[in-house]
């Protein structure tokens, strides 16, 4: 009777814990990045009965206990959002956040981030999101270097990420204009043009006019050329240069006296090529192509986060650059992380220290895929959770009944003794 009583009490106690675990899971079905937990049970002492069989049916248990509550590490469904700073991890890994610059990091799968009043990337309750800055923004919020990606620093050197609300990419004035094509061999005038960028971020026009020289060499062909650089609408002439180009009997360029021209305060090299690689003069239809380097300046239009965790700044001139990188942490044992609240964890002796994956060259990498305009939903299976809750409730009721029965049997025994 006592054994039945204590077995039932242990069942009530431990199935209560199981119900609490499942209830907590179900209460967080809408919590972003939530990781469900499962209660794991183990039998207490068993007494083996004298029998010729060694089957489990010949033993009497002494109750049950909760051995552990294990984290379900399965992937939650990715939900699309309309915010560029909403991100989700597909696969293994955790975002790092901290309450302050000296605060101990916490780890989460909840990537609903935003920007605070000081232009720092933060969670919705103000925790700093950890990562590595590219250090390519000066004190005046001007981009000093365009980067395709930012190299992730050491695990212990991750800090807050700053996303300035105003950011400009400086103008890169054109330094060279290149021309290629065929002038033909007939006495004619051929005009070529190309758009170039000046230091004021204005788009100007460079035009070359080739005219076949009156006096021709004994071998090959000679053209006089006039280069004129004007504003885009032609209302302002910044510079005019004249020169002569010579071609050999095969039409290949031998020489050119045209070198540079003033692009509204910036020297611009005029490159006509060399030999047959550039401007030629052959008995064939006239054609040409041209190109110039340089980029117009631009203002920040917004931030996005790419699949590798790089924070990409986009500008009004169509250019982009990485300015920082999200840190994605990994652990030897994710299930060993200590839960702080519904979606945040801290490392423990069981989880091991936080680490970064490395590529073949030994560089730190995120080691996973990050999706922006998306959040990871809770990984709780509501159907399975409700079913398990019913089973646990039935188990609780059965143990409650066994306690009641044992109590009644004890009362009967006491009455018989009286």
Question: Are residues 10 and 82 located together in one domain of the fold?
Answer: no
Please state, in angstroms and rounded to a whole number, the distance separating the CA atoms of residues 264 and 234. 13
pLDDT tens, the chain, 418 aa long: 455 555 655 555 666 777 777 788 888 888 899 988 887 666 665 554 445 555 545 555 556 666 667 788 899 999 999 999 999 999 999 999 998 777 789 999 999 999 999 999 999 999 999 999 999 999 999 999 999 999 999 999 999 999 999 999 999 999 999 999 999 888 689 999 999 999 999 999 999 999 999 888 988 999 999 999 999 999 999 999 999 999 999 999 999 999 999 999 999 999 999 999 999 999 889 999 999 999 999 999 999 999 999 999 999 999 999 999 999 999 999 999 999 988 999 999 999 999 999 999 999 999 999 999 999 999 888 777 677 777 767 766 666 666 666 666 667 766 776 5
Question: Are residues 93 and 148 located together in one domain of the fold?
Answer: yes
CB 26 within 8 A of CB 385: yes
Among 376, 391, 408, the domain-final residue is 376
Question: Are residues 180 and 286 located together in one domain of the fold?
Answer: yes
Question: Are residues 268 and 197 located together in one domain of the fold?
Answer: yes
φ, ψ for residue 285 (rounded to 5)?
-55, 145
Among 269, 292, 315, the domain-final residue is 292
Radius of gyration of the chain (CA): 38
Please state, in angstroms and rounded to a whole number, the distance separating the CA atoms of residues 255 and 94. 63
Question: Are residues 315 and 347 located together in one domain of the fold?
Answer: yes
What pTM was computed for the model? 0.76
Question: Are residues 137 and 125 located together in one domain of the fold?
Answer: yes
List the one residue out of 236, 217, 219 whose CA is nearest residue 228: 236
CB 231 within 8 A of CB 238: yes
Residues 6+ apart with CB under 8 A from 417: none
Question: Are residues 407 and 333 located together in one domain of the fold?
Answer: no
Task: Bin 317: left if φ > 0, else alpha if -120 < ψ < 50, else beta.
Answer: alpha
Question: Are residues 275 and 338 located together in one domain of the fold?
Answer: no
Range of the domain at 199: 176-292
Question: Are residues 220 and 367 located together in one domain of the fold?
Answer: no
Question: Are residues 162 and 82 located together in one domain of the fold?
Answer: yes
Q: Looking at the 3D structure of the chain, how many domains does it have? A: 3
Question: Are residues 115 and 12 located together in one domain of the fold?
Answer: no
Question: Are residues 188 and 128 located together in one domain of the fold?
Answer: no
Among 273, 292, 311, the domain-final residue is 292
């Amino acid at each position: 009777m006592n054994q039945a009583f204590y077995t039932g009490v242990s069942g009530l106690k431990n199935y209560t814990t199981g119900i609490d675990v499942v209830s907590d899971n179900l209460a967080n079905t809408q919590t972003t990045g939530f990781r469900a937990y499962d209660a794991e049970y183990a039998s207490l002492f068993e007494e083996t009965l004298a029998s010729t069989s060694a089957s489990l049916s010949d033993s009497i248990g002494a109750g049950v206990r909760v051995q552990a509550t294990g984290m379900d590490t399965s992937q939650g469904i990715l939900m699309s959002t309309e915010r560029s700073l909403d991100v989700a991890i597909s696969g293994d890994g955790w975002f790092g956040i901290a309450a302050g610059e000296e605060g101990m990091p916490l780890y989460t799968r909840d990537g609903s981030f935003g920007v605070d009043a000081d232009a720092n990337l933060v969670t919705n309750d103000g925790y700093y999101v950890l990562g590595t800055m590219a250090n390519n923004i000066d004190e005046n919020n001007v981009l000093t270097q365009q980067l395709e990606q930012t190299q992730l620093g050491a695990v212990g050197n991750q800090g807050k990420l700053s996303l300035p609300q105003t950011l400009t990419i400086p103008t890169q004035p054109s330094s060279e204009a290149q021309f290629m094509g065929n002038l033909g061999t007939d006495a004619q005038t051929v005009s070529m043009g190309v758009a170039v960028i000046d230091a004021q971020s204005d788009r100007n026009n460079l035009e070359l006019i080739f005219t076949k020289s009156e006096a021709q060499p004994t071998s090959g062909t000679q053209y006089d050329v006039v280069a004129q650089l004007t504003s885009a609408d032609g209302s302002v002439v910044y510079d005019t240069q004249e020169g002569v180009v010579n071609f050999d009997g095969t039409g290949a360029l031998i020489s050119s006296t045209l070198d540079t021209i003033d692009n509204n305060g910036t020297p611009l090299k005029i490159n006509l090529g060399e030999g047959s690689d550039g401007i030629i003069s052959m008995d064939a239809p006239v054609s040409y192509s041209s190109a110039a380097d340089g980029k117009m300046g631009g203002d920040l239009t917004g931030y996005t986060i790419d699949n590798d965790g790089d924070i990409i700044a986009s500008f009004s001139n169509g250019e982009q650059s990485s300015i920082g990188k999200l840190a994605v942490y990994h652990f030897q044992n994710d299930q060993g992380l200590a839960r702080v609240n519904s979606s945040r964890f801290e490392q423990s002796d069981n989880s091991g220290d936080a680490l970064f994956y490395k590529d073949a060259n030994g560089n730190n990498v995120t080691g996973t895929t990050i999706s922006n305009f998306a959040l990871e939903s809770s990984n709780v299976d509501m159907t399975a959770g409700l079913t398990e809750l019913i089973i646990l409730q039935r188990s609780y009721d059965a143990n409650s009944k066994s306690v009641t029965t044992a109590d009644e049997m004890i009362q009967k025994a006491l009455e018989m003794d009286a």
